[in-house]
Amino acid sequence: MSNLNTAKIIKQLQKSYPDTRCFLHYKSPFQLVCAVILSAQCTDERVNMVVPGLFKVFPTAEKLAAAKIKDVEKLIKSTGFYHNKAKNLIGFAQALLQLYGGKLPKTIAELTQLPGVGRKTANVVLGEIYGISEGITVDTHVTRLSNRLGWTKHQDAVKIEQDLMKIVPKEEWLHFSHRLIQHGRKVCDARKPFCGVCALSKWCPSSNV
């Protein structure tokens, strides 16, 4: 895809999806990380249904760090993969206290030392809490659309992120994933993309229009 078409797609995404706030519910940086950990292979809507109960019982890192895994599992079961997620949540809380005194660090390298925190979660946290752009968040929607738009040929999130960082202006990194995720949810469906109503179809090599 030409640089001109890429620029046009990014501009259209900006126009179509001006609202780039995080749709996960949280009241503290600690709670945001927990919500993102729960969002793996799960919708934001489901996570937002679960977190009020979780944070009512375990509102802080100190409370969660001392939790029993079975108690956490009961509260998050409907998000799927609940055993691993409960393990990661408790491990994250314990490491956050031990390594950083309970305060979230401001670099990807430091954040990814915490259990359950990969580059995706780290990018979300840095952008949402600190307004820092170290990279681009890559989830399943971003993976799918980046391939369909011809921006990458990879399925590995780190390689996709590297490809996107080369073509997306850095000042757009904080917002780009939010826009692409919204487009993936509303238009570019995984099974049946609605190319006939897609504002990007004229530039998309995968369009069936």
Reply yes or no on whether 71 is catalytic: no
Residue 2's pLDDT is 73
| Active-site choice (120, 156, 170, 186) | 120
Residue 31's pLDDT is 96
Reply yes or no on whether 189 is catalytic: no
Yes or no: say if 209 and 195 are a contact pair by the CB < 8 Å rule: yes
| Active-site choice (8, 139, 170, 202) | 139
Distance, in Å, from the CA atom of 128 to the CA atom of 25, rounded to the nearest integer, reads 12
Yes or no: say if 51 and 60 are a contact pair by the CB < 8 Å rule: no
Residue 201: is its pLDDT beyond 70?
yes
User: What domains does the chain contain, in order, with CATH numbers?
Assistant: 3-20+136-203 (1.10.1670.10), 29-130 (1.10.340.30)
What is the tens place of the pLDDT at every residue in 59-104? 999 999 999 999 999 999 999 999 999 999 999 999 999 999 999 9
Q: What is the mean pLDDT of residues 106-111?
A: 96
